[in-house]
């Protein structure tokens, strides 16, 4: 099984002067879920190379078994440092795609033409698409074959307004995932703040927050395995 994992290349948190990027747990937990399942993993980002890591995701209270495993895994660290450019990735070469979160995707993946084209290609092919936390921002401009939003009429989740308010970034982010999905005609669902909540609609899998990372990845693996058997 070949899985494409996509990370942000954006490292500035609006006009705050603070750094952002991808959230470590939202990369590490899916990465090891895929790796331990025997999948071949390709890492990609808009600019290629080392994606920026949100420094807040290195805080002691943000650590998990997956992040600790990554921080002591030079092979994984080397793989992350050498992401390919999104423009080089072809949907036809992969069985599934997974978008990692962190606030960065709100600024780059949401508007990136290569990201949008990949999403639309995976969707047309009926291949599993997974996105977690702020990763679902990548769906903002993606369209279905009918020209409507890819999320229109679909059940989806992503970082909630209450969670954004809790981290004090409601007035910093360029848009709210919850509000944007509702505006696009998506059926936005949420679970309790900071708890694992995954929504599956056909081959589209979305996870609400960092705690949803592993469950989102495992859902993607199940769908990809079922497709391979059929």
Straight-line distance from the first to the last Cα atom of the chain, in angstroms, rounded to the nearest whole number: 14
- CATH numbers and ranges of domains, the chain: 2-229 (3.40.50.880)
Count how many Cα atoms sit within 13 Å of the Cα of residue 33 in the half-sphere of its side chain. 20
Measured distance CA(171)–CA(159) in Å, rounded: 15
Predicted TM-score (pTM) of the model is 0.97
Give the Cα separation of 224 and 150 in Å (integer). 20
**Secondary structure E strands in the chain:** 2-6, 40-45, 84-85, 96-99, 129-132, 155-156, 187-188, 198-201, 204-207
- 220 touches 203 (CB < 8 A): no
pLDDT at res. 229: 82
User: Which of the 8 DSSP states describes residue 217?
Assistant: H
pLDDT tens sequence for the chain (230 residues): 999 999 999 999 999 999 999 999 999 999 999 999 999 999 999 999 999 999 999 999 999 999 999 999 999 999 999 999 999 999 999 999 999 999 999 999 999 999 999 999 999 999 999 999 999 999 999 999 999 999 999 999 999 999 999 999 999 999 999 999 999 999 999 999 999 999 999 999 999 999 999 999 999 999 999 988 87
- What pLDDT does residue 168 have? 96
Answer yes or no: are the C-beta atoms of 138 and 86 closer than 8 Å.
Answer: no
Residue 207 β-bridge partners: 132, 198
> Tell me, what's the pLDDT at 228?
84
Q: 221 and 35 in contact (C-beta within 8 Å)? A: no
- Strands across the sheet containing 198-201: 84-85, 40-45, 2-6, 96-99, 129-132, 204-207, 198-201
């Amino acid at each position: 099984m070949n899985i494409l994992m996509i990370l942000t290349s954006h490292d500035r948190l609006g006009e705050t002067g603070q750094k952002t990027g991808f959230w470590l747990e939202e990369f590490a937990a899916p990465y090891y879920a895929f790796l331990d399942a025997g999948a071949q993993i390709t890492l990609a980002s808009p600019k290629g190379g080392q994606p920026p890591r949100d420094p807040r995701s290195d805080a002691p209270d943000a650590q998990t078994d997956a992040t600790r495993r990554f921080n002591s895994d030079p092979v994984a660290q080397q793989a992350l440092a050498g992401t390919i450019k999104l423009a080089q990735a072809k949907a036809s070469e992969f069985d599934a795609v997974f978008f990692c979160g962190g606030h960065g995707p709100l600024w780059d993946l949401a508007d990136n033409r290569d990201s949008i084209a990949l999403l639309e290609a995976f969707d047309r092919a009926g291949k599993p698409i997974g996105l977690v936390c702020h990763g679902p921002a990548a769906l903002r401009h993606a369209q279905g074959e009918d020209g409507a939003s890819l999320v229109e009429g679909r059940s989806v989740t992503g970082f909630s307004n209450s969670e954004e308010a809790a981290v004090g970034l409601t007035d910093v982010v360029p848009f709210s995932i919850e509000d944007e999905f509702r505006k696009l005609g998506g059926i936005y669902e949420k679970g309790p703040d900071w708890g694992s909540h995954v929504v599956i609609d056909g081959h589209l899998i979305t996870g609400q927050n960092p705690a949803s990372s592993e469950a989102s990845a495992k859902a993607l693996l199940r769908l990809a395995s079922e497709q391979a058997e059929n």
